[in-house]
């Protein structure tokens, strides 16, 4: 009987705690997890942005929901959206997070004013681009740059999910309306010292299946009535260039990526000229002024390079 009374008493205390406002509801770490999931539309993207794991972010949101006594997110099959009460909590969460950021800036003198998440293809992630980014950072010490490189289709997906603020990518002409777009001349290349184009089947050096030029290569070879095989796959431009130069196979690359170790395959090869690719620089119309300032510099740099 004593054990039963004790259990009932514990249950009553637990219900009383749940029914009352709990100050731990305002733990900033939990609120940040909620706000990031709402911004990204998914737990996976939120985990990437917060440099955490999906399970950790899910646990934080569940903990916040337990403390609030309400479901704060609708977890749909394709997208996560705030509930009505979740929108209310989000409003307060954003205000509290903003106050914390302002306090940090005051205590540090000059803190980070904004963060720019910039995505760039690998072949632009060096040289002029990195020098421009370093100069921009020196002139804007309160702007934090987070630069990532990868395949253009991957960068485009990340931009669409809100994971990038500014992106330079290669795309089919007219695929997206960019801040600025430039034609990207392409070239068929073979090894200058060990030609492979005459082999049957034709050996191809290609980017992974989601790489932009891969299908163009396959379609062009098949249009010639020739057989083909993929002999080398890499997501690295340097890897593709080296494999062709060493005689593993032919490839299709931007004309600016052709080196002295390569031989261009001209009209005599029967291969078509590929003119459907463009470079595009993208940011949202509501982008932060710092994002626009960096975009303007990139536009000027790219126009100089292409003149």
More confident residue, 59 or 104: 59
- The CATH 3.40.190.10 portion of the chain extends over 114-166+284-306, 186-274
| pLDDT at 174 (0 to 100) | 83
Residue 36 has pLDDT above 70, yes or no: yes
| pLDDT at 109 (0 to 100) | 52
What 3-state class would DSSP assign to 136?
helix
Classified by CATH at the fold level, domain 114-166+284-306 comes out as D-Maltodextrin-Binding Protein; domain 2 (3.40.190)
Residue 142: how many other CB atoms lie within 10 Å: 11
- At 152-185, the pLDDT tens digits run 888 999 999 999 999 999 998 888 888 899 999 9
Average pLDDT over residues 4-22: 42
| pLDDT at 8 (0 to 100) | 39
| pLDDT at 178 (0 to 100) | 86
Place 5 in a pLDDT band, splitting at 50, 70 and 90.
Answer: very low
Residue 141 has pLDDT above 90, yes or no: no
| pLDDT at 101 (0 to 100) | 75
Q: Outline where the chain has alpha helix (H).
A: 2-19, 28-40, 43-49, 54-68, 84-107, 128-139, 152-160, 214-223, 237-245, 289-306
| pLDDT at 16 (0 to 100) | 42
Classified by CATH at the fold level, domain 186-274 comes out as D-Maltodextrin-Binding Protein; domain 2 (3.40.190)
**CA separation, residue 171 to residues 31, 64, 207, 281 (Å):** 37, 41, 15, 10
| pLDDT at 9 (0 to 100) | 45
Place 26 in a pLDDT band, splitting at 50, 70 and 90.
Answer: low
Is the CATH code 1.10.10.10 the one for domain 15-107?
A: yes
More confident residue, 17 or 251: 251
| pLDDT at 297 (0 to 100) | 92
- At 213-230, the pLDDT tens digits run 888 999 999 999 999 999
Residue 3: how many other CB atoms lie within 10 Å: 7
| pLDDT at 228 (0 to 100) | 97
Euclidean distance between CA atoms 121 and 119, whole angstroms: 7
| pLDDT at 268 (0 to 100) | 92
Place 6 in a pLDDT band, splitting at 50, 70 and 90.
Answer: very low
- The CATH 1.10.10.10 portion of the chain extends over 15-107
Q: Phi and psi at residue 241, in whole multiples of 5°? A: -60, -45
| pLDDT at 108 (0 to 100) | 59
- At 116-128, the pLDDT tens digits run 999 998 888 778 8
| pLDDT at 119 (0 to 100) | 95
pTM (2 d.p.) = 0.59
Place 252 in a pLDDT band, splitting at 50, 70 and 90.
Answer: very high
Euclidean distance between CA atoms 102 and 82, whole angstroms: 26
Task: Please state, rounded to an integer, the average pLDDT across all residues of the chain.
Answer: 85
**CA separation, residue 63 to residues 25, 57, 274, 303 (Å):** 9, 10, 54, 51
């Amino acid at each position: 009987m004593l054990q039963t009374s004790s259990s009932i008493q514990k249950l009553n205390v637990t219900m009383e705690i749940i029914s009352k406002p709990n100050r731990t509801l305002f733990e900033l770490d939990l609120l940040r997890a909620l706000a990031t999931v709402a911004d990204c539309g998914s737990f996976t993207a939120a985990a990437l942005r917060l440099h955490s794991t999906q399970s950790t972010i899910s646990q934080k949101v569940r903990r916040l929901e337990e403390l609030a006594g309400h479901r704060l997110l609708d977890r749909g099959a394709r997208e996560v959206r705030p509930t009505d009460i979740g929108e209310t909590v989000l409003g307060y969460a954003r205000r509290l997070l903003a106050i914390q950021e302002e306090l940090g800036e005051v205590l540090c003198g000059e803190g980070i004013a904004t963060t720019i998440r910039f995505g760039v293809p690998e072949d632009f992630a060096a040289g002029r681009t990195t020098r421009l980014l370093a100069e921009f950072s020196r002139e804007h010490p309160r702007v934090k740059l987070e630069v990532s490189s990868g395949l253009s289709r991957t960068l485009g997906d990340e931009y669409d999910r809100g994971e990038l603020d500014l992106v330079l990518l290669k795309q089919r002409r007219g695929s997206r309306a960019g801040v600025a777009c430039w034609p990207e001349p392409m070239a068929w290349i073979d090894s200058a010292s060990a030609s492979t184009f005459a082999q049957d089947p034709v050996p191809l050096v290609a980017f992974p299946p989601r790489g932009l030029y891969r299908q163009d290569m396959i379609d062009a070879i098949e249009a010639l009535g020739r057989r083909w095989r993929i002999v080398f796959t890499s997501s690295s431009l340097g890897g593709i260039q080296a494999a062709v130069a060493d005689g593993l196979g032919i490839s299709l690359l931007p004309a600016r990526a052709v080196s002295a170790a390569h031989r261009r395959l001209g009209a005599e090869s029967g291969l078509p000229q590929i003119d459907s690719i463009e470079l595009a620089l993208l940011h949202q119309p509501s982008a932060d002024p710092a994002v626009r300032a960096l975009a303007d510099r990139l536009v000027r740099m790219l126009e100089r390079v292409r003149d």
